[in-house]
Structure 1
Amino acid sequence: MAHGSVSIARMTAGLVLALSVAALSGCAAFTTGYAVLDREAAPADALPDAFVEQDSGDVADLSSARFVGEHSGSSLWLLRGVDQGSICMLAHQDETVGNMVCGGDGGPVEMSGPAGHFVTVPDDYPTPDGATRISDNVYALSP
């Protein structure tokens, strides 16, 4: 009888291990990311001097900035937030018109202001309804 208890315990441990591996694999399948932030920085990724002078880097990691495109006079960058699991988007027109927003990296982060109305989404996320594609991760929205 003791041998049977050991066998049941081993089977239970094996089942728990298998379920744990399956659960972790499932989580990895739904992991979101922003491939643009994983590429090497290029000269075009440099943030505007006026923004760098005004921003202390308390919210976003300025060295992670990657230029993603332009729309209606606004230049757009994605950056990693200083808080783990956050993403930031900067829209900049000139020294007087620009804004930045940060949010969780697992879903859309929307911004609306004088520089425009934009949304950032993780890789392989569905295109927002009625949006104009600027890059794989950034879309312009109608006001």
Structure 2
Amino acid sequence: MTHGSHRIARMTTALVLALSAASLGGCTAFTTGYAVLERDVEPADALPDAFIEQDSGDVAELSSARFVGEHSGSSLWVLHGVDQGTICVLAYRDETAGVMACGGERGPVEMSGPAGHFMLVPDDYPTPDGATRISDNVYALSP
């Protein structure tokens, strides 16, 4: 192999490694710290029709909703936000008592309203003081 051939081979190898790193980095850019959002959709994940009718879908990706539990009559979902890097939590009791809050994926996201006082946290986040665990990511807080 000539000197020029070695140089081309090294440049090609460097280019392939750079493209591989970029594509792998792109895959992880969309991974969140919320395993619940990675699971397949289940029937329980469906949002209430009344909420869908009221929400414009400009804050959260409604199709990404994953049901995580109930607390004091409110049903709770975790959703991807419309803006990249955002995560949302929805607490819904009925047409008059629902609240959704969004924030950065690294959390926490805290919200309070007629449907309750809740905190959304990433996987493996420490339990908030005085909180009641609803799921791996959602906790009810005392008022």
Normalization by structure 1: what TM-score? 0.77
2:81 corresponds in structure 1 to 81
The size of the alignment, in residue pairs, is 115
- The reply on whether 1:38 has 2:50 as its aligned counterpart is no
Q: Deviations over 1:88-128 (max 9, x none)?
A: 01000011110111000102000101100000000011100
Q: Which runs of 5+ in 1 are unaligned?
A: 1-20, 22-27
- The reply on whether 1:131 has 2:111 as its aligned counterpart is no
Q: Deviations over 1:59-95 (max 9, x none)?
A: 0000000000000000000000000110001000011
2:114 corresponds in structure 1 to 114
Decide whether the 8 Å contact of 1:32 with 1:123 is kept in 2: no
Off by >3 Å, runs of 4+ in structure 1: none
Distance 1:32 1:52, change over 3 A: closer
Q: Which runs of 5+ in 2 are unaligned?
A: 1-20, 22-27
Please tell me the root mean square deviation across aligned C-alpha atoms, in Å: 1.5
Partners of 1:134 and 1:72 lie apart in 2 by: 11
Normalization by structure 2: what TM-score? 0.77
How far residue 35 of structure 1 moved from its aligned partner, in angstroms, is 0.2
